[in-house]
Structures are given as C-alpha cells and as structure tokens.
Chains A and B, each alone.
Chain A
Amino acid sequence: MTRKEMVAMLLAGGEGSRLGNLTKWIAKPAIPFGGKYRIIDFTLSNCNNSGIDTVGVLTQYQPLILNSYLGVGTPWDLNRKRGGLKILPPYVQKTGGRWYKGTANAIFENIPFVDQYDPEFVLIISGDHIYKMDYTEMLESHKTSNADVTISVVEVPWEEVSRFGIMNTDENFHITEFEEKPTNPKSNLASMGVYIFNWKLLKRYLIENQQNSTSYDFGKDIIPAMLSDNRSLVAYPFEGYWKDVGTIESLWQANLDLLDDNVELDLNDRYWRIRSADPNMSPQYIGSSAKVTQSMVNEGCVVMGEIDHSILFYDAHVGEGSYIKDSIIMPYSKIGKDVTIHRAIVGEGVIIPDGVTIGHPKGPIELIDQNSNYKQNYRSSVN
C-alpha cells in the first residue's frame, strides 16, 4: 500500500437518540440537511477540499441508507485507486461478532486498516457536525507545535457550555484540563470532536485502553489518560460556523440559519463546495400562484403555494393555496392544497392531505414523520 501522511477516520455510527423518530431508520450522519445534503456531506467535503484522500467511515447504527448513500465515495471525489473512502462496519471474527463499544474502540478495531497506509498522523472526525474547515491548516499547526495531539476547539456561548466537552488551556493553548459537560465552567472552548494524533502514540493508548478499561471513549478515556501522562495536548481554535445538530430544535435552527441575509455558512462558496450524491431531479418549477420568499428550494420541487422562511428538499411538492412558514420539508414530501404549516419538520416522503393544519406560529417545533398518521411516498428511502 502507498504511504499516506494522514488518514482520516470518520465516526458515523451515532444513533442521534435525541432526534427522536428522525433517526428511527437512518443514522444521524445520514439525516437530510440544508435542502440538498446529508449531515455527513460536510465532513466528507472538508476532507476532499483539504486534500485528504483516505477516509475510513466507521458505521454501526442503521447503516443501510448511509452505506448506499456513501457508495465508493464518488460524489466527494473519494473513489480513488489508492486510499479513497472505505466503509468500516463492525464485523464478525472467529471469536464472535461485536459492536463498536465506543469511539476509541471503533478505531482500535480498525488499527490494521490505518496501518495499511503507515501514516504519521491520524485525523479523527465525526459525521454529526455542520461546519467548513481546512484540516491541512490544522495539520500544519500540529506539526509546528510539536504536539502529541491537537484538538480543534470552538468558542460556544457561556449559557450552553454545560452541553459540551470543555478544554481549559493556558495562554499558549496548551490543554491543562478536560471537563465533560461542566456545571462550573472555567472556559468556553468546546471540543469539536476533531483530533489530530501522532498515529504511533495513539495506537499505544488505544491498546492500553482496550486492555485496562471498561470504557472506550476519546473524550472520557484517551484524552484524560494522555493528560495525566503529561503529553502535549494543544487546542486549535476554530473560527466560523460549527453546529452539533443533536436535537430536533437545533436541527431546525441550523437549517433556518442558512436563510439569514448574512449567512455564516456560505453554501455558494465556489472555493469550498459542499458535495453530495445528486439524485438528478428535473428542474424546480415555481407556479403562477406561488410566492416564495426567504427560502431555499431544491431541484425536483413543484411549488404552487406560498413559502416563507422555509427549506424545501428535492422533489417536495406544495399545492395551491398552501402556506408554509418557518418549516423544513424533507425530500419526496407531498403537501396538498390549502395546507398550513408553521414551525415544523416534515420528514422524508410524508404525504400531507389537502386542508390540514400543522404547528402554530409560536408553538414548539413539530416533527411530522413516517410514524405520524400520514401516508408515505413510495419513492422515499425510509419506507
């Protein structure tokens, strides 16, 4: 095998249990986002745009749709002869099959995969986050600082600090302490779940962790172990849009963030394209009776009603006289005539009959999914 300087390992096994029924049939990284994408497109596009051509994708929970979506990595230019995208599911061995028991265990189980490329560095990323980041700049910083591990951090609002893993650092961004979801935080630098390790060292810690522990997690086990050994852990401050869409509310909010006039996450940036598998839909048609304002609409959509501050994924249809506000309509959904929808996420392929009212202008976010009492479009992938 050809030697690679850095191999990326993308953790995509997350169940996303706080996303309720949205993740009943699909893993969190495969959740549709931004009118056209799935969440994992952001990290895969970051890899591609950063020139990383070897990406192991660790899957576990509900992998069917994710696996068929990823294929051999063609949409992200990761269909390479040497390296490229490889799906790494848990597998059965002589001694029986086993699930990945944690993030560190997932990498431990795939040490032979990484070793094939004999890399100096390993980039650990997750398929759960929405952001645009150049990993090569982070690698340069990792090399310059001579760190054992570099952890990307982002400033989060102080009132949300207790949701994150927080890094306490000295003035040179050397990490002195790691606190998972602290109640009395000393810093607001949250770990983004993006790590660059020196591979030989990480391998040693993974093997040790495997032998001596019952918990196998980067945040809980590997990072604290390295800290207590006085290894050099350096924080890499990231500036820009970064979001963990862990809940229905944050998924809804992150989608609608894209509609701001001064949008932080620019999808039209030609120099940092977010790539995705394109189902090749016919052009979108905005009808004579339609009104579309402050919204994003994808190919395949047919809009005859009024759409305000909302996102329509591909092949969503909206009938005459319908009004959709502050909502997200996922692929293949068919909204009938004279339907009113406020503050809702309509799941993939849901068919809403004429005249229905969903949500309230000031109400909580409603999730209308495959388990609601509505029929399902046969074309959607989550039947």
Chain B
Amino acid sequence: MVMNNVLGIIYIANDNNTMHPLTNHRCQSSIPFGSRYRMIDFVLSSMVNSNIQNVSIFTTLKNRSLIDHLGDGNDWDLDRKQDGLFIFPSDSSENSRDITSFYSAMDYLDKSSQEYVLLCYDSLITNIDFRPLYKQHLKSGADVTIMYKDKERNNHLFRNLEIDDFHNIKNLQTKDSKFGSLDIMMLKKQKFIELITNNRHIYRNFNDILREQVNNPLNIKGFRYDGYVNKINTTKQYYDSNMSLLNPKVMKQLFKENNEIHTKLKDEPPAKFTSNSNVKNSLIANGCIIDGEVINSILFRGVHVKKGASIKNSIVMQKCIIGEFAQLDNMVLDKEVILLPYDKFQGSEQSPKVIPKKSAVGTYVN
C-alpha cells in the first residue's frame, strides 16, 4: 500500500466555548491529554503510522501552544526535506470556514505530489490505521469515502449518517441513525481542489457541501471502523475520556506496540515515589515527585504532590504543585496551578471543576 500518495490534512475547528477555561489560552487540539500527550497527537500519529508523509495542519487563532508543541515535526518524524509537516495558521476572524482556509493554501495543495487527500478534524482520541480506508477507496471508485462507526441512536456527538446496504451514504445529516460520521474522509486531491474552488464564495463548510451534493453529483461511500474512538467537545467528555484510560483494555487499544502515539519529548527524569507515597490505579508521568496519595487519577509531567496531600478522581496537568495536606476530588487542574497547604477542592463526577492555568490558589474563587 503506497500511502505516500496520500496527503493528510488536519483542520482544527474553531473554539466553541464548551471547553473553557481549558481553551482560554489554547485551541482544543493542544489540550494536554492522557498524562503525556496533547489531543492532536492521536490523529497526527495515526497518519504518520499509516505512512502518510505529507501532513498539513490548519489552525485557529489560539495557536501559540499548538505550534510550540509541533515544532518542526521532528517528534513525529515529519522533519523532511521533501514533504513533512506544514502548518497553516489562520489569518482570518474567528468565524471563518474551513473552505476559506483550504483555498488559501491552494499553492501547497497544487504543488504537493500526492494524488489523494485524507481530511480529518481535530477532536478525536483514537489510534487508526488509515490504510484499509485508502484500499477500499481505491477499490470502490467512490468520489469520497467517509469513515463512520456504529453508535447508539441517541448519541448525537457524531453526525448521523444514512447508509444503505452497499455502503452508499444517502444522507449526511439525518435526524436519527445508528451510524456516526467520524468526519474522516478520503478523496482525490483534484476533486478536493475542485470542490473548494467552486464553493469558496459560499458561506458553507466543507461538510455542508458534501451534504448538499451527496447522491448527486457525488458518490459518497462509508467505511466502517470498529476500533476505539472518543470524540471530545465538552469538559465532561474530556474528563471521561481521560479517565477511561485507567481501564487497561482502553489503554491497550490506544497505545499499540507498533503504532505508538508520538508526542513532543521532554527530558524529565523518571517519576519519584517517596516512602510516604500511596498511588493506586493512576497514570503517572515522568518528572513527578509523589510524597502523598494519588488515587484513580491522571498526573502529567513534573507534578509535585507534597506530603499528606490527597488527589482522587482528578486530572492534574504539567508542573502543578499540590501543597501539604491539600485535597482534590473530581477536579481538573490546568498547567502550573499551585495549591496551598490544606486547600480543599471538590467537583463531582457529573460536573468536574476546572482550575485555570497558573492560578495560585487563594486567588481562585471556587
């Protein structure tokens, strides 16, 4: 399977305000996830592991953190002389459409040697091999192939698709369906260029164009994916998706031996546990120093848990300091938060609370 004939595009959707304050300073794609990753690592690594060697990322305005994370693409093996990683930062206002962004990169699309485009949006946590999708797309001769998964009828997180028995997609936005679109699609680059060129003046997103043109003139097929996929649009979904990693079965599906999730590497020493530490059912990143209790939680790099502190059912991001005898339950701490000794914070499983980045607690009002 010659996947170097496929160009990967990741479009980072605009902030929909449902994840504040995690998205106060960054786009959703660069929210830390799973102890040592950022959300974008999953789709990006899936592309790289599928042998796609030309990847472009279209970003929104809050892109500083994301661009810092991606660097020159070296950690994904995308620092190439030919092809590699291309970043197209948004230069327009917040409510721009994806087609406008794609059209502004016409030179890049045109000059790239690849014949096919794999288009993904940013909010998925998954580890997909895209090669079977490409294979089916070539074989079926469809104009567009969209990846979908089986879902509960009342789950509206994924776009509802109507699909016939021959994998033909009949409708891209039905009211109710047991098939959900992953918004991952493959099509010929020439067709992609044609669609964005013809529709660049219409106030529509790429998905809207497909919805209008399905059946006529576009022949759109579905490709079913049964692996692990998690879509994140809200803080609660973010919390649940992280916590699901504490299930070893989920871990196995996401972190496969030969399809690792790549991320920006840091030179943190191994995690250090003192004689007072009590850690159960948790993911711990390097650089952590644990002198207290950590239960059912996810700790990112360089977190210090001081003596007597207790962290339960919580997500604690990079370089937070949890003061002596402080207590956390059902909380999400953004990066570099400092909890003073004896501070106590409690959210609930239904609505975990978020403490914003760099808060020194005492100034933070619960």
Interface residues of A (CB under 8 A from B): 34-36, 74-75, 259, 261, 267-268, 273-276, 278, 280-288, 290-299, 307, 311-312, 379
Q: Is residue B80 within 8 Å, beta carbon to beta carbon, of the partner chain?
A: no
Minimal beta-carbon separation of A271 from chain B (angstroms): 12
Minimal beta-carbon separation of A357 from chain B (angstroms): 24
Q: Is residue B281 within 8 Å, beta carbon to beta carbon, of the partner chain?
A: yes
Assess the B251–A298 pair: CB atoms within 8 A.
no
Neighbouring B residues of A267 by C-beta, 8 Å? 269-270
* Known contacts A290-B279, A293-B277; is-contact A283 B267 (Cβ 8 Å): no
18 A-B pairs, CB-CB below 8 angstroms? A35-B269, A35-B270, A75-B267, A268-B269, A274-B267, A278-B265, A285-B246, A285-B251, A285-B283, A286-B280, A287-B281, A290-B280, A293-B275, A293-B276, A295-B272, A298-B271, A299-B285, A311-B270
Q: Is residue B248 within 8 Å, beta carbon to beta carbon, of the partner chain?
A: yes
Assess the B286–A282 pair: CB atoms within 8 A.
no
Give B271-300 interface residues, CB cut-off 8 Å to A: 271-287, 289, 298
Assess the A285–B248 pair: CB atoms within 8 A.
yes
B265 closest partner in A (C-beta):
A278
What's the Cα separation between A55 and B316 when bound, in Å? 39
Assess the B280–A283 pair: CB atoms within 8 A.
no
Give B217-254 interface residues, CB cut-off 8 Å to A: 245-246, 248, 251
Assess the B269–A284 pair: CB atoms within 8 A.
no
Neighbouring A residues of B262 by C-beta, 8 Å? 280
B262 closest partner in A (C-beta):
A280
A282 closest partner in B (C-beta):
B255
What's the Cα separation between A280 and B256 when bound, in Å? 12
Neighbouring A residues of B245 by C-beta, 8 Å? 283
Given B255, B267, B272, B281, which contacts A288 in the complex, CB threshold below 8 Å? B281
Instruction: Supply 16 further A-B pairs (C-beta < 8 A) apart from A274-B269, A293-B277, A294-B274.
Output: A35-B270, A267-B270, A268-B269, A268-B272, A282-B255, A283-B35, A284-B285, A286-B279, A287-B280, A290-B279, A290-B280, A292-B273, A293-B274, A296-B273, A297-B273, A307-B273
Neighbouring B residues of A287 by C-beta, 8 Å? 280-281
Assess the A280–B273 pair: CB atoms within 8 A.
no
Interface size for chain B: under 10, 10 to 19, 20 to 34, or 35 or more residues?
A: 35 or more
Neighbouring A residues of B287 by C-beta, 8 Å? 268
Minimal beta-carbon separation of B317 from chain A (angstroms): 13
Given A275, A292, A298, A307, which contacts B286 in the complex, CB threshold below 8 Å? A298
Assess the A280–B260 pair: CB atoms within 8 A.
yes
Q: Is residue B180 within 8 Å, beta carbon to beta carbon, of the partner chain?
A: no
A275 closest partner in B (C-beta):
B267
What's the Cα separation between A311 and B289 when bound, in Å? 14
Neighbouring A residues of B273 by C-beta, 8 Å? 292-297, 307
Q: Is residue B34 within 8 Å, beta carbon to beta carbon, of the partner chain?
A: yes
Assess the B272–A284 pair: CB atoms within 8 A.
no
Minimal beta-carbon separation of A147 from chain B (angstroms): 34
B263 closest partner in A (C-beta):
A280
User: Which 7 pairs show the lowest CB-CB distances between chains A and B?
Assistant: A283-B35, A267-B269, A35-B270, A282-B255, A298-B270, A296-B270, A283-B283
Assess the B270–A34 pair: CB atoms within 8 A.
yes
What's the Cα separation between A284 and B36 when bound, in Å? 10
What's the Cα separation between A288 and B262 when bound, in Å? 27
Given A74, A268, A292, which contacts B289 in the complex, CB threshold below 8 Å? A268
* Known contacts A280-B262, A282-B261; is-contact A288 B269 (Cβ 8 Å): no
B291 closest partner in A (C-beta):
A261
Neighbouring A residues of B255 by C-beta, 8 Å? 282
What's the Cα separation between A290 and B289 when bound, in Å? 17
Neighbouring A residues of B261 by C-beta, 8 Å? 282
Neighbouring B residues of A295 by C-beta, 8 Å? 272-273
Assess the A299–B36 pair: CB atoms within 8 A.
yes
A292 closest partner in B (C-beta):
B273
Give B20-79 interface residues, CB cut-off 8 Å to A: 34-36, 74-75
